[in-house]
Amino acid sequence: MKDEVQHINLKEKFRGYGYKYTEQRQQVMEVILQHWQLHLSSDDIYEFLREKGLNIAQSTVYRTLVMLERIQAIRKVDLSEGYTRYEICSHEDRVHHHLICSQCGSVIDLHSNLLEDLENEICSKHDFHVKNRCFKFYGKCKKCRGQLEDK
């Protein structure tokens, strides 16, 4: 049901921006929704679509990502890897940060008021207004730390 609601909202958003909500664009968004926790790159999305047996051009994936970002369905995530990943936007979603495993590359979304409180304190102290922020914490996830202990 949630996916149906998501697609109805996307159709409306696409129409609001003068775009058509085609089958290929729907398939791109479905891959993003199915693998939301992975913060996929455009190449990852393309490969998932190919694995599903869909004949879709990589340029179509790129253009769809640009449109999805423009209508604020997704946003770019820069994890300092030399390429862009994407994550789903939602109205309930506040700015969040990421925990990145330096061994397996997994990404965990971090929602914490502690960082917001710290930002407010710093801005107040320096009379500064933040327009954008991104904290990235690098380390090893529980799974990778467990693998080291097993050896």
- Cα separations in angstroms, 39 against 7, 88, 97, 109: 19, 9, 12, 10
pLDDT averaged over every residue in the chain:
83
Is 49 a residue whose pLDDT tops 90? yes
Residue 2: pLDDT band (50, 70, 90) is very low
Q: Residues within the annotated binding site for Fe cation?
A: 116
Amino acid at position 73, single letter: A
Identify the three-state secondary structure at position 74: strand
- Binding residues for Zn(2+) are 101, 104, 141, 144
Q: Which residue has the higher pLDDT, 38 or 68?
A: 68
Does position 31 have pLDDT exceeding 90, yes or no?
Answer: yes
The token pair that represents 123 in the structure block: 């801005």
Task: Say yes or no: 108 and 65 in one domain.
Answer: no
Dump pLDDT digits (tens) for 87-117: 887 655 556 777 888 888 778 877 666 777 8
Same-domain check for residues 71 and 138:
no
Residues annotated as binding site? 101, 104, 116, 141, 144
The stretch 24-48 carries a mean pLDDT of 92
Residue 20 contacts by C-beta under 8 Å, 6 or more apart in sequence? 14
CATH of the domain at 131: 3.30.1490.190
Q: How many domains does the chain have?
A: 2
pLDDT tens, position by position, 124-133: 999 998 876 7
- Under the banding of pLDDT at 50, 70 and 90, the label for residue 6 is low
Of 20-29, 30-39, 84-93, 100-109, the least confident: 84-93
| 102 and 78 in a common domain | no
**Domain range enclosing 106:** 97-150
